[in-house]
Amino acid sequence: MSIISEIRDIKATGDFEAAWQKGFPALQQDPGNTYLQTSLFWVIYSALKQLIEPITARENIAPTTLEKKQIDFWASRISTLQITLPNELIDFRLWNLFRGIGKFCEPICLFILRSGRSIFSSNDYEPFKTEKGESPSLVTRLAHMVAANYLQQVGTSQLDPARVIALLKHAQECAKDSPQGKVWLDYDMARIFKAAGRIDKAREAYSSVLKRKGGESWAWFGLASTYLDDPKKAIALTAFGLTCAHDPKFSIPGLVQMAELLAETGDHEYASKVLIKLCDIYNQNGWQLKDKVVGLTSSAWFDGSLNTKDLDAYIAGLAVGANEVAMADPTYFSGVVQSVHESGKGAFVYVDRSQTFSVRKGVFPNRRIPSPGTYIRILCDMGSDSKDVSSAESIAPFDSPDINSFRGEIRVTDRGFGFVNNDLFVPPGMCEGITTGTIVAGIAVMSYDKAKEKYGWKAITIRQDQAPS
């Protein structure tokens, strides 16, 4: 009987350690023997499966100390096989086995980190499409798993934080997940940078999330935690995060942070009100208070009898200016809504002949896009590559050399477009239902006419003011 058959037969009895002891000495004598590597890999896989499946089937999937020791023991043996990568053995079956529980296993994370990008095949960079939407690609999922393992044991981890960051950046740059699917990679990087004392880099990572998803409360709380040496900024950022937390459960980290900051600055009244709200959330969900919360409510300054009716309004007031704190170069512009995106998910705001900004729907108050012709003030980070707009509000009309109101008689051409007072151009779609001689009015902006190679007035809104006589 061949040694491969012996390993297989022993494995079938469930004595995985005996199967390993039978085959591994032979592999040491014949390194690179793919048949032995394959046989021993499936011994490891079977042993891990027997250990992991009962754990992941229960509500609390965190392994006990003994379970972790056993899983780590078998997982550490994968690297001893010295399998050439990429390899069909190291595929979705292994990674699905570690789904949810891999963050507790340092040896498997070490294996991923030391293998580098050679562990991945081209398919691993593709996200999974399901009926419910997009699931993360394997590259993104494993990068997140490795980061989570490091963050659980900062200071004692065997994982090199620089290599963890490199893996996260590789996933960020090369995985084909949507930008929304990669948000957690920025979060992981921010926390690792912060743990390593790289506050500037942590700040960049949190800001990167907010440029894409300005409503992420956790990113605001994280960014605030990088300004603890400047309580005023930290309070504004935390407060803004609380205004974004639409589910009370998501507000918990920010409420804890806010209570500490307010107490530190001597605002014990509202620090107490924040703690009262925090305790209410815990009680409503039947949760036990965390030690940190118990410690704060045990402080001499805490007053649990206060009325919290005005707390939300107070926090909203503290949040004023948070957008500017989060930006490299906050700049305000005044302009006019030129048109709504075809998708309906945003609008173009015209500032002047040299600047037009795309503004997403979520930036406008109540997520309602104003009608074209509405005068708007926007806040933009001109220090960022994307120059995203983070806020927009309607304002009164103002004088501008490139934005103007008009009124006059229209002449509609056979080709469907028109002219008001012979020099203001009206696009074809805006002339429907309007006949020559009608008195019209609206808003126009300066626009470059390629045919005439010069700037001229172009209507962005129009209405009939008086029927033709």
Question: pLDDT: is 465 or 250 the higher one?
Answer: 250
Distances from the Cα of 51 to the Cαs of 60, 76, 101, 139, 427, in angstroms?
15, 14, 11, 25, 70
Distance (Å, whole) CA 386 – CA 305:
48
Residue 178 pLDDT grade (very low, low, confident, very high; cuts 50, 70, 90): confident
User: Is the fold of 328-394 the same as that of 403-466?
Assistant: yes
DSSP annotation of 129:
E
Give percent of the chain with pLDDT exceeding 70: 99
pLDDT in tens, 378-435: 998 887 666 778 789 999 999 999 999 999 999 999 999 999 988 899 999 899 889 9
- Is the domain covering 3-265 a CATH 1.25.40.10 domain? yes
Distance (Å, whole) CA 222 – CA 233:
12
Strands 463-466 and 439-449, sheet pairing: antiparallel
Tell me, what amino acid is at 101? I
* Mean pLDDT, rounded, of the chain: 92
What is the distance in angstroms between the CA of the first residue and the CA of the last residue of the chain? 107
Q: Tokens 């960022």, residue?
A: 384
Fold entry, domain 328-394: OB fold (Dihydrolipoamide Acetyltransferase, E2P) (2.40.50)
What confidence score (pLDDT) does residue 288 get?
93
Assign domain 403-466 one CATH number from 2.40.50.140, 3.40.50.720, 2.30.110.10, 3.30.70.120. 2.40.50.140
Distance (Å, whole) CA 42 – CA 129:
29
What confidence score (pLDDT) does residue 24 get?
95
Tell me, what amino acid is at 340? V
Identify each DSSP E strand in 108-178 by its residue range.
Answer: 128-130, 133-135
What confidence score (pLDDT) does residue 11 get?
95
Q: What average pLDDT score do residues 65-76 get?
A: 97
Cα angle for residues 249, 369, 236 (degrees, 5° grid):
40
What confidence score (pLDDT) does residue 68 get?
96
Distance (Å, whole) CA 453 – CA 143:
52
DSSP string, 303-372: -TT---TTHHHHHHHHTTTHHHHT-SSEEEEEEEEEEE-TTSSEEEEEEETTEEEEEEGGGSGGG-PPPT
Whether residue 262 has pLDDT greater than 70: yes
Q: Is 156 helix (H, G, I), strand (E, B) or coil?
A: coil
Which segment of 164-168, 238-242, 260-264, 362-366 scores lowest on mean pLDDT?
362-366
Q: What average pLDDT score do residues 274-294 get?
A: 94
Tell me, what amino acid is at 74? W
Q: Is 203 helix (H, G, I), strand (E, B) or coil?
A: helix
Whether residue 184 has pLDDT greater than 90: no
Q: 405 pairs with which residues across the strands?
A: 443
Domain ranges of the chain: 3-265, 328-394, 403-466
What confidence score (pLDDT) does residue 155 get?
86
Distances from the Cα of 156 to the Cαs of 153, 194, 203, in angstroms?
6, 16, 24
What confidence score (pLDDT) does residue 390 get?
79
Give percent of the chain with pLDDT exceeding 90: 74
